[in-house]
Amino acid sequence: MGCALLVFGCAACGAPAQANPTLVMSIPATWDGAQYVADPNGKREPICEPCARQLLERFVREQLPIPSIVREADYFDRAYHQGADEQDL
């Protein structure tokens, strides 16, 4: 079985990262020519695992709605440490 990994630069901190393209967490951001900046009207861009964990903590703290998939206990393992199964793509 093949698998696919998305390789990208984190939209929040710029670090190179890789993740499952169907599960990766993303934020609305736009490219300003040098880096991504948070932009509520921007396209959703993927973020790296440390940034995703920080974002999740903020969501919990501010009691914002958390997507159900992100609440699953093994979300970070599946999103950032395994490729997508071909059948999911």
Please, which residue, 11 or 84, has the CB nearer to Zn ion?
11
Should residue 19 be labelled a site residue for Zn ion when binding is judged by CB under 5 A?
no
Which residue from 23, 25, 51, 79 is in contact with Zn ion, where contact means CB under 5 A?
Answer: 51
Which residue from 12, 23, 55, 79 is in contact with Zn ion, where contact means CB under 5 A?
Answer: 12
Q: Give the residue among 17, 24, 42 at the shortest CA–CA distance from 32.
A: 42
Which residue from 13, 18, 53, 70 is in contact with Zn ion, where contact means CB under 5 A?
Answer: 13
CB 42 within 8 A of CB 29: yes
At residue 77, φ and ψ (nearest 5 deg) are -60, -45
Radius of gyration of the chain (CA): 13
Please, which residue, 51 or 56, has the CB nearer to Zn ion?
51
The secondary structure element, H or E, covering residue 79 is helix 75-81
Contact residues toward Zn ion (CB under 5 A) are 10, 12-13, 15, 48, 51
